């Protein structure tokens, strides 16, 4: 698949067929993630892959996080919220948690580590598209909850970047549009006294 075709053809899908995703495809997706650029070659990405009944474990921690802070988890409204969260891992055949383990080296900037893992996620989503699969990058308050980090054994300085839900799409991918890059771009092709931001140089 042409790289430009993959970039423009990939789209976020929320509904999947129950068909199991072959392990070989998931392995290729994971490997694609590890080819993302990362300064000092720290390779900060970490993966946890939940499939089959393994998704029950993910479901239980999501329920614990959802309940945290609720004054009355047994209210009708909260029971619905909890049930929806409990079902979340089962909405796709595979769920991959992507974390960032920040290097202990002093010269490493944690922001750059997170940026590297963000690039890793993009690689994974493009690889899933190339494999005939679909996915979405799940984030939200539950991803950043301390219990989630504890569940994964991550340290205080580490980060959870999100959960990638992957499967065969249950509907056709929709056409997408983007604002043309020219709206966000300045071309500088001459050495002139120019104000790029607020500073004249």
Residues that constitute the known binding site: 10-12, 137-139
Question: Within 13 Å, how many C-alpha atoms sit on residue 55's CB side?
Answer: 20
- Among residues 19, 93, 25, the alpha carbon closest in space to that of 53 is found at 93
What sections of the chain are H helices per DSSP? 3-9, 23-33, 55-67, 76-87, 110-130, 146-152
What is the number of other CB atoms lying within 10 angstroms of the CB of residue 27? Answer: 11
**What one-character DSSP code corresponds to residue 156?**
T
Question: Among 52, 46, 38, which Cα is nearest to 89's?
Answer: 52
Give binding residues for FMN as ranges: 10-12, 137-139
Contact between residue 94 and residue 165 where contact means Cβ atoms under 8 Å apart: yes
């Amino acid at each position: 698949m042409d790289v430009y075709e993959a970039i423009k053809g990939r789209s976020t899908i929320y509904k999947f067929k129950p068909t199991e995703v072959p392990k070989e495809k998931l392995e290729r997706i994971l490997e694609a993630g590890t080819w993302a650029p990362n300064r000092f070659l720290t390779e900060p990405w970490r993966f946890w892959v939940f499939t089959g009944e393994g998704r029950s474990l993910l479901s239980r921690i999501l329920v614990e996080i959802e309940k945290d802070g609720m004054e009355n988890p047994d209210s009708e409204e909260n029971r619905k919220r909890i049930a929806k969260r409990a079902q979340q891992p089962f909405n796709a055949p595979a769920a991959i948690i992507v974390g960032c383990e920040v290097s202990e080296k002093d010269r490493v900037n944690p922001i750059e580590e997170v940026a590297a893992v963000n690039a890793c996620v993009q690689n994974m989503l493009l690889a899933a598209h190339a494999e005939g699969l679909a996915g979405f990058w799940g984030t939200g308050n539950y991803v950043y909850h301390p219990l989630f980090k504890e569940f994964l054994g991550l340290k205080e300085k580490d980060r959870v970047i999100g959960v990638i839900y992957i499967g065969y799409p249950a509907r056709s991918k929709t056409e997408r549009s983007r604002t043309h890059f020219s709206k966000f771009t300045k071309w500088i092709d001459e050495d002139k006294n120019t104000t790029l931001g607020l500073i004249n140089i």
